Amino acid sequence: MSWLILIISGVLESVWALALGRSDGLSKLGPTITFFVAVVASMFGLAIAMRDLPTSTAYAVWVGIGATLTAAYSMISGAEAISVVRILLVAGIVGCVIGLKLAH
């Protein structure tokens, strides 16, 4: 159950990062509210997952999921350029997250 909570928390990390980027310095109400709700839920889930998982593993997986989803969304939406190098580097993050799960 801790892994599922951690994955959901990683998704929420991506949500709050994207909302923060769209909030224009926390001046736009909708993205600002989304940011605060997602950051609290993400941190709460990370804290719950850390009850059963080592801090280093939980944090690395949480950041990896958030970074991967944020980068993928940015490339798909056209906010960032798509390149073979970016795709390979993001795939490397995914591989590391999977490796941490398998090594646990």
Query: Which pLDDT score, from 0 to 100, does residue 101 have?
Result: 86
Who contacts 20 (Cβ-Cβ below 8 Å, separation ≥6)? Answer: 26, 31, 35
Which pLDDT belongs to residue 22?
A: 96
Measured CA to CA in angstroms, residue 24 lies from 13, 27, 28, 72, 88 at distances of: 18, 6, 6, 21, 30
**Quick check: 68 pLDDT over 90?**
yes
Query: What is residue 103's predicted lDDT score, i.e. its pLDDT?
Result: 87
User: What pLDDT band is residue 75 in, cutting at 50, 70 and 90?
Assistant: very high
Q: What's residue 100's pLDDT?
A: 87
Q: What is the pLDDT of residue 42?
A: 98
